[in-house]
Structure 1
């Protein structure tokens, strides 16, 4: 992707920014909590942070994948693999791009409870989007205050119960025999509030051998004891009885027959997860506040990754955290403080064995007991120096322990400790904000981060032998950013951020074969530098324009070689695999009612959205071979919705058409794989109907 694309888009959006004030809801209404752990407008937050509200989540699609909404946030790459056995491929400023499954390098938090275990590996599929009120994304140095593998932080928040009962039912149907249903009940009775949501999803998939079924329950019970004390209890059950894995394709096959599967063995994954947690918020005196969380859960995961083999785990996890925040004067300056402690622990029995006709046999080839645990302390303070300047500083002390022990159970099986390792780091963060005008903030931040290897990344040595690879080091990084937030008027907003990240001991793929992947550390450093832009403008009462763009240059600073089934050479300047050199999304929305809302704050009438998306090239290997390189692409999506009130029921009909020009392109790549390409679907469609009754 050429950089002139972004320059042209910037010029176009400024051409539309000369507008008159429009009497409607202002763009200042977004409330976030991520950056400073206290409620404030994202405009005032001294960091790169965006909030995606319920309206955008609902209008973006059937609410199956977080990628539907996250593609509207700059700096975030959320690729739908069209492979529900491996989850989305999410990265923020290039962190997390190497993952072959799940989410790594990016922390996910749902209702204050981590969806990322202590080693840095998490899941996005367990987040219930149908009951999510908003998604907040924090990028850059301040994210380092959230601990290990915080290349960025994604937080989701379940909606609050309404004052009057609501019953919602919705269904979607689309290409590839895709079905989506959701039922939700929400009500408040006295001091108690309830949101209960159950959703189903089933598809035959765009590609062969990609059939999937998922069922999910998310419930939130709130007890408002008084004005000072609130307790939330959140329960989540995720059941995926099957998700077939079509596997990656070669470059030639991906272009010629993108619907093809490279999975002759009908690989599939089965997941069951249940979790419950509680969050207590207690205000001591109107200034000081205590927040505490306690949670626990279980996850069972079985992956049949070959005709005669399977891998799986049975994981129990739990954790607690407590923080204290207050405000005081320091050196005569208003200062907000917060100190806290987090403890999280995950234990799992990790096994592998043989299978026959897609079912387990009694023969094991791996049987280990693994542990991941963190113990963190953090402190953060923000000070208003004067009317024009404010400062933020903080630090987090992180201790992560990983270990594995053999349990026996098969001939020659090890018994006892296979190794343990501890990673310790104290990471500071410092930021400065210049409040140039009431409608303009300029900020600069620095932070140091750490990313430990995950238990899965330590599973094999470079020859793909079963082991616990304690030779892997944690990657360390220094993050710098500078940004500006500007509100030209009450209907337009511009966010710009430039970033530079320098890392050492980058964890990279050493070799991958037959479902096994070994990792090593890059002997040289890496850099990630880029520019992010987000712009919103309602330039006439009935029309809105949105644009997000990211340019990123992520490369190895030094050349090196390593041996893995032959010598591999990485030249200085090679691009870090899995990171597109650019991502852009722009949309033009028209409303038949000038974006007027009903009393439930939903836009009435017809809403039409035309969307243009584009992405730059990315590499599948750190050697940057052309045969493992995916080219850039662009395309169009169109969505149409109509909403009306009939008595006490709000009806909404949806339709969407994706990839209007039927473009062939690579949706994602599996980093380090010999057949890394995961093609995106051609032209496809979805229709839906939502009915929300209020009593």
Structure 2
């Protein structure tokens, strides 16, 4: 009898133990949400069951964080008793998406510029080995990959001056300048896992971001610790492709850290096109107080990739997988090791005034054996960016003022040798290089009426290049040569009018400039083109956005007039050189339409969405004469006049999903004379898979997919105006991939 009474007492004590019971539901449909990760302020995370319910012991009020893929994260303070928490599905509705472009966090409908968002869902529609496919679904944006990890970004035709690498586009990573002060961006040092989402501003944005006529790419991967979580991914595919990732996140108080390691390798579709990249990232977030936050990032990259080189039409017809003759013997390739570290600090002086400051430093060890030479560079750089934001009133109308500055400098020891069978030979020339750029910016956003906003912005820009020649085997001039560009003032004026709660129009006039990079001034055969002028242009833009219910519509028309356009040509030795080529007229139309056919969290088909993006680039040269040839009126080299992308996304209740993409690219002129074109092509990609959670602790995804389903012959990045007709960089034929992802909560 005593044992029975004791057991009854213990059972009643257990049943009466204080609990915090939580039920999580969809805010729109009011249906329970399964597998929501709930992280308490104290204790271990749990997942909701099929009824959307879980419970934590205790009665003390504490903070709970809620996470579920496809839903906005939420934090709530809950105590003893039963609670219902509503999660809102991540909106693809333009009337609700918030972006941080132009340093002003506002809903997209209130932004007076052509901006597209590339989300984590966009990245996960493809094979996750590169950023190419996801960015190329957006109107006005094109990323080319001539060989694995050899990127080239074109925003509204900006890649005309980029024979290799990323130029004429400013790139930021977690609010830190990732573009070097000489104007180049080593985007291939980042793995796709280092990017959670991206915002692309199309057209000149120098009033806030400095040099770059193409636009700005803001990449974000902030540390977002969600308790204890370990993840592991593995993927394999054709052409010897393998990718492995291991990640861990840990919450520490109100902050925490995330770390990941990624190894990706590929033999490549073509001869001499293998790639091997190792990337380690460590990010930390620390909430010092209600007024202060600190974020840190460390990126260590080790990248090696081979360069197959361009082929002429006969070589492509003979064997598109071959490399340019000599590339194998000379080991044409790039080896690059880099360390990039940053720290960011946010301080809220009051409810109206705050400051955000980021500082960074980086090191870079670069080697590039090529057919004609062997380049070695060892560099160091540092810089930072700061901005103050004031939210107040002027004449009883809302006023936001943003002001700040940015400064960058880099020091590089650069040496060019002869190349004998892939080994550096006698030094040909050597330089100590210094690139510096800085600017101040100011911006005022004034709501003259509740639905009408005026933006006035201005920046003052300074930049210089120093080339101190130490060695010149040809007997050329030694010593310091400097090119200091005249200070440039870059204004921007924009209007935004909200027609109603779900649609609006905007217009803007913005100026831009882009000085030549060191690689354009100091070419591989040793000449110094210090007379190369900065490009300058002015852009006129008009746009309309609609985000209502299941429908999104984004339309933009623009006219960009560019003077002192920098174009490329190749000398008989195969060295890429640069020149100013008069001016260009760039008229364009960009349109994106998305529609959710089905959005129902209770049905078998949970989501079915379709979308289309159209880009019309009607760009021509004006006043462009080269020798006895007048190319005025010709189409701009390297730009497709018409691109159309269509998408379909399906998600079901059991966890099966399908992503289907079709991209049509019109023919592309490959030389200034418009006598050679790449043929139009259709590119079809698909990914299908299954994703579920188990036992409240495990998450599993298995997937497979195909790229270039139609087995098209095309180049994803051509050489422009090359010597010997070597225009083509053949892209992979039909190829398959598959993989698994596993996550464990501890």
Match of residue 63 from structure 2: none
Decide which moves more: 671-680 or 203-212: 671-680
Match of residue 679 from structure 1: 730
- Which of 374, 388, 396 is the equivalent residue of 1:324? 388
Pair 1:49 & 2:100 matched: no
Deviation at residue 657 of structure 1 after TM alignment? 0.7
- Which of 656, 680, 684 is the equivalent residue of 1:606? 656
Kept after mapping to 1: 8 A contact 2:688/2:704: yes
Pair 1:139 & 2:179 matched: no
Q: 1:494 to 1:96 in 2, by over 3 A?
A: same
Decide which moves more: 32-41 or 655-664: 32-41
Match of residue 596 from structure 1: none
**Distance in 2 of aligned mates of 1:356 and 1:259:** 24
Q: Deviations over 1:204-226 (max 9, x none)?
A: 10111111111111111111101
Q: 1:672 to 1:660 in 2, by over 3 A?
A: same
Pair 1:114 & 2:172 matched: no
Q: 1:271 to 1:512 in 2, by over 3 A?
A: farther
Kept after mapping to 2: 8 A contact 1:144/1:427: yes
Match of residue 394 from structure 1: 457
Match of residue 666 from structure 2: 616
Aligned partner of residue 385 in structure 1, secondary structure: strand
**Distance in 2 of aligned mates of 1:331 and 1:263:** 70
Deviation at residue 354 of structure 1 after TM alignment? 2.1
Q: 1:559 to 1:111 in 2, by over 3 A?
A: closer
Q: Deviations over 1:379-428 (max 9, x none)?
A: 01111111231111101111111120111375736431134332421010
**Distance in 2 of aligned mates of 1:54 and 1:559:** 42
- Which of 348, 354, 363 is the equivalent residue of 1:283? 348
Aligned partner of residue 226 in structure 2, secondary structure: coil
Deviation at residue 640 of structure 1 after TM alignment? 0.2
Pair 1:652 & 2:701 matched: yes
- Which of 676, 681, 694 is the equivalent residue of 1:633? 681
Task: Write the mapping of 1:121-136 to structure 2, written as runs, cut at 5 A.
Answer: 121-136=184-199
**Distance in 1 of aligned mates of 2:184 and 2:205:** 20
Match of residue 5 from structure 2: none
**Higher CA-based Rg:** 2
Q: Deviations over 1:261-303 (max 9, x none)?
A: 1142321111111111111111111221101111111111111
**Distance in 1 of aligned mates of 2:342 and 2:251:** 20
Gapped regions of structure 2 (runs ≥ 5): 1-27, 31-87, 600-606
Q: 1:672 to 1:22 in 2, by over 3 A?
A: farther
Deviation at residue 484 of structure 1 after TM alignment? 0.5
- The alignment's TM-score, normalised by the length of structure 2, stands at 0.84
Match of residue 549 from structure 1: 614
- The alignment's TM-score, normalised by the length of structure 1, stands at 0.90
**Distance in 2 of aligned mates of 1:296 and 1:572:** 44
Aligned partner of residue 254 in structure 1, secondary structure: helix
Q: 1:549 to 1:144 in 2, by over 3 A?
A: farther
**Distance in 1 of aligned mates of 2:223 and 2:384:** 23
Match of residue 717 from structure 2: 668
- Which of 39, 50, 54 is the equivalent residue of 2:105? 39
Aligned partner of residue 535 in structure 1, secondary structure: strand
Task: Write the mapping of 1:580-599 to structure 2, written as runs, cut at 5 A.
Answer: 580-593=640-653
Deviation at residue 577 of structure 1 after TM alignment? 1.3
Gapped regions of structure 1 (runs ≥ 5): 1-20, 594-603
Match of residue 17 from structure 1: none
Kept after mapping to 2: 8 A contact 1:503/1:527: yes
Match of residue 300 from structure 1: 365
Pair 1:579 & 2:639 matched: yes
Deviation at residue 256 of structure 1 after TM alignment? 4.3
Deviation at residue 43 of structure 1 after TM alignment? 2.9
- Which of 246, 271, 282 is the equivalent residue of 2:308? 246
- Which of 555, 576, 583 is the equivalent residue of 1:525? 583
Deviation at residue 357 of structure 1 after TM alignment? 3.3
Match of residue 482 from structure 1: 542
State the aligned residue count: 647
Aligned-residue CA RMSD (Å): 2.0
Aligned partner of residue 496 in structure 1, secondary structure: strand
Deviation at residue 475 of structure 1 after TM alignment? 0.7
Kept after mapping to 2: 8 A contact 1:501/1:527: yes
Deviation at residue 360 of structure 1 after TM alignment? 2.2
**Distance in 2 of aligned mates of 1:554 and 1:103:** 20
**Distance in 1 of aligned mates of 2:29 and 2:565:** 49
Q: Deviations over 1:609-642 (max 9, x none)?
A: 221111112122222222xx21211132111021
Pair 1:538 & 2:589 matched: no
**Distance in 2 of aligned mates of 1:50 and 1:442:** 16
Kept after mapping to 2: 8 A contact 1:42/1:51: no
Kept after mapping to 2: 8 A contact 1:128/1:218: no
Q: 1:366 to 1:33 in 2, by over 3 A?
A: farther
Deviation at residue 201 of structure 1 after TM alignment? 0.8
Q: 1:227 to 1:490 in 2, by over 3 A?
A: farther
Kept after mapping to 2: 8 A contact 1:46/1:433: yes
**Distance in 1 of aligned mates of 2:317 and 2:701:** 38
**Distance in 2 of aligned mates of 1:121 and 1:292:** 23
Task: Write the mapping of 1:70-469 to structure 2, written as runs, cut at 5 A.
Answer: 70-84=135-149, 87-142=150-205, 144-240=207-303, 242-266=304-328, 267-306=332-371, 309-361=373-425, 363-408=426-471, 410=473, 412=475, 414-460=477-523, 466-469=526-529
Aligned partner of residue 681 in structure 1, secondary structure: coil
Q: Deviations over 1:97-118 (max 9, x none)?
A: 3311110011111011111112
Q: 1:512 to 1:283 in 2, by over 3 A?
A: farther
Pair 1:516 & 2:575 matched: yes
**Distance in 1 of aligned mates of 2:423 and 2:92:** 54
**Distance in 2 of aligned mates of 1:171 and 1:665:** 29
